[in-house]
Amino acid sequence: MTFPAKLPIPSEVLKIAKKLEDAGFETWCVGGAIRDNLLGLENHDFDLTTSAPPAEVQKIFRRTVPVGIEHGTVAVLDATNQPHEVTTFRKDIQTDGRHAVVEFGVSLMDDLARRDFTINAIAYHPIRHEWRDPFQGEQDLAKKLIRSVGDPNWRFQEDYLRILRALRFSARFEFRIQAGTLEAAKANAQGLAQLSAERVRDEWFKGIQTAKKLSKLVTLWRDVGATRIWLPEMGAGSGELGAVDTLPRDPVLITAYLAKDPASLLTRLKCSNKDIERGRAIGLWRDKYPDAKDATGIRRWLAAVGEHADDLLVLLPAPRSALPHAVEKIRAAHPPLALKDLAVKGDDLIAAGVRPGPDVGETLGRLLEEVLDDPSRNTREYLLSRV
């Protein structure tokens, strides 16, 4: 592969680059969009890197958002309010495996050298149509290789998240991880423990959404040792892995599916309570499906699993494939499935002589049981006759 003479840069990005260059600041396109376009994949989200200090970028453009100002990143809003990231050439001068103290006033070469992988360290000048590829990223794209920029041990120790990024890019593009880089990733896996749960979760979820074959990503996480540290509930087995490739790319659903104890895994990843409850329901119900021929059983199941029914249907083991159709038929009849669907309310029971207090809820629960057995019983007359 060789560099194309020109890359089609969106006009809004080009405008920003021109304005910076006209003000005397060198400005290049870098990062994921360059990589993806060289691979023939659509990506219009070009990041710019510039010699302009952050304060200059904020002065030159009327509308900016300081999205990562401490690292030199300013988002410039275009005419349609789309943000475009502009980052000042920077170098990491102090790192601890998680954060970096950065220095500006450095060259494009320094800026490319601080990037994670060679395929992410290619720069293109949108006006002069020049390329800079000091680490032979273009060769690695052709060879389908993920390779650290510089010494992989050192680079992973600067920021352990790069280990997980290597796995994500490998699974997304079906690239091999270069031997030395892979060896260093494994050797430094223990450092992953230092990362924040949020960064790990974002990386894991992004991986789920972008991997070509999800089972490949899961295997990489296992082989490198990342699973052992961050996803121990996933265990070492790979028996269920084949099926994962057929599931929708919903990160919470996939994570719950793979985990023996989904709620504890999602809690470790600091997911929202809603997501944790979703995982808990999956863990609780995934081996308790009703029989497709048992309408009462299905109604009871729908009542019990509530909003989680569709997740459970998606995760249904293949031999039970008659169930979704049976559930659909039952749902179409809109049977009463919850207390709120009953033809009587608590007040009706009290008027009929039930003692206010816990007895009311208990009675409603009993009536719901009857109605789940036979929805035609859901009339005021019948239910009051049973009180």
Q: Which residues bind ligand ATP (CB under 6 A)?
A: 31-32, 47, 115-116, 120-121, 159, 161-162
Cross-strand partners of 131: 124
In the complex, minimum distance from the CB of residue 27 to Mg ion, in angstroms, rounded to a whole number: 17
283 binds, among ligand ATP, Mg ion, none (CB under 5 to 8 A by kind): none
301: Cβ contacts below 8 Å, ≥ 6 apart: 288, 289, 290, 309
Whose Cβ is closer to ligand ATP: residue 121's or residue 337's? 121
Residue 235 interacts with Mg ion (CB under 5 A)?
no
148: Cβ contacts below 8 Å, ≥ 6 apart: 116, 117, 118, 155, 156, 162, 166, 178, 180, 181, 184
Residue 83 interacts with Mg ion (CB under 5 A)?
no
161 binds, among ligand ATP, Mg ion, none (CB under 5 to 8 A by kind): ligand ATP
DSSP state of 308: G
* Residues near Mg ion (CB under 5 A), total: 1
Which residue's Cβ has the minimum distance to ligand ATP? 32
119 binds, among Mg ion, ligand ATP, none (CB under 5 to 8 A by kind): none
Whose Cβ is closer to ligand ATP: residue 251's or residue 279's? 251
- CA-CA distance, 8 to 51, in Å (whole number)? 23
In the complex, minimum distance from the CB of residue 293 to ligand ATP, in angstroms, rounded to a whole number: 47
Whose Cβ is closer to ligand ATP: residue 37's or residue 64's? 37
Whose Cβ is closer to ligand ATP: residue 159's or residue 311's? 159
- CA-CA distance, 239 to 356, in Å (whole number)? 53
222 binds, among ligand ATP, Mg ion, none (CB under 5 to 8 A by kind): none
Tokens of 318: 């293949």
235 binds, among ligand ATP, Mg ion, none (CB under 5 to 8 A by kind): none
Given candidates 10, 32, 53, 297, which one binds Mg ion under the rule CB under 5 A?
A: 32
Which stretch of DSSP H or E encloses residue 30? strand 27-30
Tell me whether residue 344 is exposed, middle or buried, using C-beta atoms within 10 angstroms of its C-beta: 0 to 12, 13 to 18, 19 or more: buried
Angle at 208 between CA 309 and CA 289, to 5 degrees: 20
Residue 82, SS3?
coil
Whose Cβ is closer to ligand ATP: residue 36's or residue 233's? 36
Which residues contribute to the site for Mg ion (CB under 5 A)? 32
